[in-house]
A and B are shown apart, each in its own frame.
Chain A
Amino acid sequence: MAECHPVAFQWVVEAKKRGATVIHVDPRFTRTSAFADLHVPTRAGGDIVFLGALINHVLSGGHEFREYVTAYTNAADILPEDFTDAEDGDGLFSGFDPETRTYDNSTWQFTGERDLTLTHPRCVFQVLKRHFARYTPDLVEQVCGIKPADFARIAATLVAASGREKTTAWVYAVGWTQHSTGVQHIRTASILQMLLGNMGRPGGGILALRGHANIQGATDVPTLFHLLGGYMPMPGPDEGLEDYLGRMPDTGFWGNKRAFLVSMLKAWFGDAATPGNDFCFGYLPRISGDHGTYRTVLDMIDKKVKGYFLLGENPAVGSAGGRLQRLALASLDWLVVKDLVMVESATFWKNGPEIATGELTTEQIPTEIFFLPAAAHTEKDGSLTNTQRLLQWHEKALEPPGDARSDLWFLYHLGKRIRAKLAGSSAEADRPALDLTWDYPEEGEHAEPSAAAVLAELNGYAADGTPLSAFTQLADDGSTSCGSWIHAGSYAGGVNQTARRVPWQEQSYVAPEWGWAWPANRRILYNRASADPQGQPWSAAKAYVWWDEQAGEWTGQDVPDFEKTKPPSYVPEPGATGPAAIGGGDPFILQSDGKAALFVPRGLVDGPLPAHFEAGESPQRNRVYRQDGSPVSIQYRDRRSTHGQLAGHSAIFPYVVTTYRLTEHHTAGGMSRTLGRLAELQPEMFCEVSPSLAAQRGLENGGWATIVTARAAIEARVLVTRRLRPLRIPGEGVIQQVGLPYHWGSEGLVTGDSVNDLLPIVLDPNVYIQESKAATCDIQPGRRPRGAARTELVERYRREAGLGEDEDMTAATPDAAAAAEPDSEAHPAAPGGTWHHDE
């Protein structure tokens, strides 16, 4: 956190000054570790075992916050007899179809019976216990290399710091998410925190640090292919409105789904959206499978996708499988790159590694490339959304130089021109574009569309045109419009709430008047859980939100994440829908049963409970189940993917390679390697290795090394450091990890090889995120070969590893790629959003 979020880290510093204990678990010792009370090195990719063992520790020792668990989680729900846990399925849950490599979750659904004593053998609580029973400290030592004494210390600290009087917070980032089991990593931590009663309480919870300043905003008002605003799913082909709505729960706050969707459609299509045409629901694009970025990139190589817009994105350096990314760019008809500086994705055709190796020839690349300069954040209005859902508005300070324009300007004016070209058309296909409301006020000499107007549209309007102040005002009859239901309230009263900057000295510690958090400016989600079922705080020390009997409402430090006047004693009528189905003691109001999900019956494609699987490339077999890697992770096994098999690799690629960031640089380096003052802080690409690995391979501090994986060879300067510790596996020897900061590419003041070239394309099947955090490699002293010898080196390694020819190597030109046959997808991803996934 100190590396990547130094400004936010000040609160960790503050907490430690007030007596908090800070524990850091990470493959490498970072600037966070330097500050922490304890650093525990671990093998990248072993976290489910580590967290699972903590769950086991809690459950075996009876350390769970029993009342919280019983009342607020689905621990009491009973599973059907035909449910098989991974424990009994050798890594597979019931419902697995090996043909399609997918799960049918019908055996995961609750029977409807509950056992509040939590003793029924098929209740979630007991299933959980059995599921994690083999996740012991010994297993942790075997898989993660974490010493039992360190594990014991963590477990003891965690347990002592949880409960009524104290809470513990977990903070994670892409070290957990960028795995083929990334979502399950988070799930394991969530289960742990639910058992300890740390959710929805001050000082508790799980803080997900993001990878850049507005990634949260980019998922809220999404740029993700499978979501609509406010985390509604994208519709599937031939799906009507009712079928679509049927995919979201009827109970809990998702029960208002119709109002959310209709209001969004009114915002998009205005008067054209009427009850008669299902509010133009038919205009929405449909997804028919995996349209994730990696699939799309492979489709570019297959000539199925002709064009590409890259707005502030640099996949030539920033996405896994760099070579495939660049081959895709070289296969397009057209490419638009809009960025602050000339990034590698715009110059791959002359400066990319494939030009030097001869795999691509500049003159033969057919892609027509447009580079458009972008306005910086200081040159435009807009908001940035932090990981804690906090929107903070920033104002334009000066005009962008020359032709540089904001992305909003670009997209809006592009849309205007397209609509102008389509004007007067009678074709059905043109109706969606023409019926869009596309009329933001334009300001200034460049006709900049008003970002505030966009925010106001997201906030929404009542029928009379007044801004909404809460998503509870949304109607499903077309009388309200709202671009994103979670953002309703951000422009309440016609005031940009996200622009508020009341200093902390002038408000409570919750600081509700600094910016605005969705939904409804709640700073801790599910904060009803900070009070017991009767509505009283679990302890005075941790009082946050509580029921005021006199006033007949919830009150406290924060906006209660609960219906304000619903008493704790409220019992829903049978058959109630929407929020009315949520009881007065059910804090998790977006879940259909109002309970925190220890067990997830629907919504995750890889299992209702987390199970440990090794990464796509790993030095170890799975110690927990016979299945090594996740049975449902996405790997494109068609001929273009160069992902290799685990077996037979270990001798050739014996080391774990993990990737990460440095404070001094920003993602793919476009914003930092181009500025002298940042470039000089970390001027060269380097790797970090332990002294014993350096001794083994003859690496010298300050020297050069070549790192090779099944896909690529890169070079880096060497830092031999005690901060990368070898992990001793009892009876087996040592696992060494090679650390690589991934910020370098071929453009800028300081340049270097790109780490993402090394990585395979292995994805988490729920969210399509790539596994950047764990792969296997070899490392040798000296610089890498130049020219064609570079690819020959990789081929030699592949042969020795028994991986066979990489057919991509021969399909060097776009013509050859076009001539080859496209293969079918190996993994048909079903449509669905992150909340509910209906198969």
Chain B
Amino acid sequence: MTEQPQVPEADFRSYYGRPILKPPRWREPELPAYLYLGGLSGASAAMGAVAAATGRRPLARAGRLVGAGAGMSGTAFLIAELGRPERFLNMLRVAKPTSPMSMGAWLLAAHSGLASAAVGSDITGLVPRLGALAGAVSGVTGPLLATYTGVLLADTAVPAWHEAQRHLPFLFAGSAMASAGAAGLVATALRSREERVPAARLAVMGAAIELAVTADLERGLGLTGETYRQGGAGQMMRAARWLTPAGGLAALAAPRSRVAAVAAAGLLTAGAVATRFGVFRAGHASVADPKYVIASQRDGAAPRPR
């Protein structure tokens, strides 16, 4: 016979095992979808800008199209996440550098606007120079859009996110590159081999970065690292761990093979999406059990830069 459950004697470590923090109120699929779409939009716009500058019209068009489309749909997901969606314009009431969401809102607004202008000009042929300029500028806002989301998540109390602050911008950057590359491969799948090379390179680089950063992330977070390895987050991260390299390998073959190109696009996109879901779920898991908060503050295991 063992002890019976009773009004739980306060575990000296927690209050009835309850979370200390509130669970993030952001939902799936909305937030992970936005993370993916924001990265896709940003990197695609950059890809489109450089493609335009190097005379690659299909990739330029594709980059601008995806940049605008992903930007718009990402924005829609963000607005849907709000408790008061009708007040979304309040995001532009202030511009606060201490708020990654404020900066991101401005960035997203600017970027989506520019990307839309660029693709609109491209398709209609109207104001081509302005359109090109818009596209070029969106190639600058793009990379920021793709990486600021890492700051957005890290600038919280959520252990899995805050402790991953060194990793997330780079993880999202790599993932965005792979996503944009995937989009480019789809856009050039029916075109010549030579056309597919930049997209393929971008895809391979992105995949490699994504994998490298993920591996370091899962090892380097101490106790909190297990939130990336267990449960729903672990499932997603493990899925990404074969989707992304498979996609990267397929991307290597993409210039030679249309099938490989399409396969790479699918695998890399799935991997990028899985990674975003994994990160999102790891955040939730790191809040659900108070030990992560307690451990990081008791042992000083949390990264404390400067």
Assess the B4–A722 pair: CB atoms within 8 A. Answer: no
Interface 0/1 of A699-729, CB less than 8 Å to B:
1111000000000000000011110000000
Nearest chain A CB to B124 CB, angstrom units: 60
Tell me whether A695 is interfacial, beta carbon within 8 Å: yes
Complex: how many Å from CA A702 to CA B8? 10
Per the 8 Å Cβ criterion, residues 1-56 of B in contact with A are 1, 3-9
Tell me whether A694 is interfacial, beta carbon within 8 Å: yes
Complex: how many Å from CA A424 to CA B221? 96
Assess the B9–A722 pair: CB atoms within 8 A. Answer: yes
- Chain B residues in 8 Å Cβ range of A700: 4-5
Assess the B4–A695 pair: CB atoms within 8 A. Answer: yes
- Chain B residues in 8 Å Cβ range of A719: 7
Nearest chain A CB to B243 CB, angstrom units: 43
Complex: how many Å from CA A700 to CA B7? 9
Q: Which of B5, B6, B7 has the most CB of A within 10 A?
A: B6
Assess the A691–B3 pair: CB atoms within 8 A. Answer: yes
Nearest chain A CB to B177 CB, angstrom units: 51
Per the 8 Å Cβ criterion, residues 716-758 of A in contact with B are 719-722
Complex: how many Å from CA A702 to CA B1? 20
- Chain B residues in 8 Å Cβ range of A721: 6-7
Q: Which of A691, A719, A722 has the most CB of B within 10 A?
A: A691
Nearest chain B CB to A693 CB, angstrom units: 10
Per the 8 Å Cβ criterion, residues 61-113 of B in contact with A are none
Complex: how many Å from CA A719 to CA B8? 10
Complex: how many Å from CA A721 to CA B7? 6
Assess the B7–A720 pair: CB atoms within 8 A. Answer: yes
Considering only CB atoms, which chain A residue lies closest to B6 in the complex? A720
- Chain B residues in 8 Å Cβ range of A702: 5
Complex: how many Å from CA A719 to CA B6? 7
Nearest chain B CB to A540 CB, angstrom units: 47
Considering only CB atoms, which chain B residue lies closest to A692 in the complex? B4
- Count CB-based A-B contacts (< 8 Å): 27
- Chain A residues in 8 Å Cβ range of B6: 691, 694, 701, 720-722
Complex: how many Å from CA A700 to CA B8? 11
Nearest chain A CB to B229 CB, angstrom units: 32
Complex: how many Å from CA A691 to CA B3? 8
Assess the A695–B7 pair: CB atoms within 8 A. Answer: no
Assess the A701–B8 pair: CB atoms within 8 A. Answer: yes
Per the 8 Å Cβ criterion, residues 663-708 of A in contact with B are 691, 694-695, 699-702
Assess the B1–A701 pair: CB atoms within 8 A. Answer: no
- Chain B residues in 8 Å Cβ range of A691: 3-4, 6
Complex: how many Å from CA A699 to CA B4? 8
Assess the A720–B4 pair: CB atoms within 8 A. Answer: yes
Nearest chain B CB to A750 CB, angstrom units: 20
- Chain B residues in 8 Å Cβ range of A694: 4, 6
Nearest chain A CB to B285 CB, angstrom units: 25
Complex: how many Å from CA A702 to CA B6? 8
Complex: how many Å from CA A456 to CA B3? 64
Nearest chain B CB to A164 CB, angstrom units: 45
Considering only CB atoms, which chain B residue lies closest to A721 in the complex? B7
Assess the A695–B1 pair: CB atoms within 8 A. Answer: yes
Nearest chain A CB to B216 CB, angstrom units: 43
Complex: how many Å from CA A731 to CA B224? 54
Nearest chain B CB to A665 CB, angstrom units: 19
Q: Which of B3, B4, B9 has the most CB of A within 10 A?
A: B4
- Chain B residues in 8 Å Cβ range of A722: 6-7, 9
Considering only CB atoms, which chain A residue lies closest to B7 in the complex? A721
Complex: how many Å from CA A694 to CA B9? 15
Considering only CB atoms, which chain A residue lies closest to B8 in the complex? A701
Complex: how many Å from CA A722 to CA B1? 18
Considering only CB atoms, which chain A residue lies closest to B9 in the complex? A722
Nearest chain B CB to A684 CB, angstrom units: 14
- Chain B residues in 8 Å Cβ range of A695: 1, 3-4
Nearest chain B CB to A723 CB, angstrom units: 8
Complex: how many Å from CA A720 to CA B5? 8
Interface 0/1 of B132-153, CB less than 8 Å to A:
0000000000000000000000
Nearest chain B CB to A345 CB, angstrom units: 33
Complex: how many Å from CA A462 to CA B9? 66
- Chain A residues in 8 Å Cβ range of B5: 700-702, 720
Complex: how many Å from CA A212 to CA B9? 33
Complex: how many Å from CA A229 to CA B1? 62
Nearest chain B CB to A741 CB, angstrom units: 15
Complex: how many Å from CA A691 to CA B2? 11
Nearest chain A CB to B206 CB, angstrom units: 50
Complex: how many Å from CA A700 to CA B5? 6
Nearest chain B CB to A697 CB, angstrom units: 10
Nearest chain B CB to A332 CB, angstrom units: 43
- Chain A residues in 8 Å Cβ range of B7: 701, 719-722
Considering only CB atoms, which chain A residue lies closest to B3 in the complex? A691
Nearest chain A CB to B193 CB, angstrom units: 67
Complex: how many Å from CA A653 to CA B9? 29
Nearest chain A CB to B194 CB, angstrom units: 69
Complex: how many Å from CA A721 to CA B5? 10
Interface 0/1 of A217-250, CB less than 8 Å to B:
0000000000000000000000000000000000
27 contacts between A and B (CB under 8 A): A691-B3, A691-B4, A691-B6, A694-B4, A694-B6, A695-B1, A695-B3, A695-B4, A699-B4, A700-B4, A700-B5, A701-B4, A701-B5, A701-B6, A701-B7, A701-B8, A702-B5, A719-B7, A720-B4, A720-B5, A720-B6, A720-B7, A721-B6, A721-B7, A722-B6, A722-B7, A722-B9
- Apart from A701-B4, A722-B7: 4 A-B pairs, beta carbons within 8 A: A694-B4, A699-B4, A700-B4, A702-B5
> B-contacting residues of A (Cβ < 8 Å)?
691, 694-695, 699-702, 719-722
The 5 closest A-B pairs by CB, nearest first: A720-B6, A721-B7, A695-B4, A701-B5, A691-B6
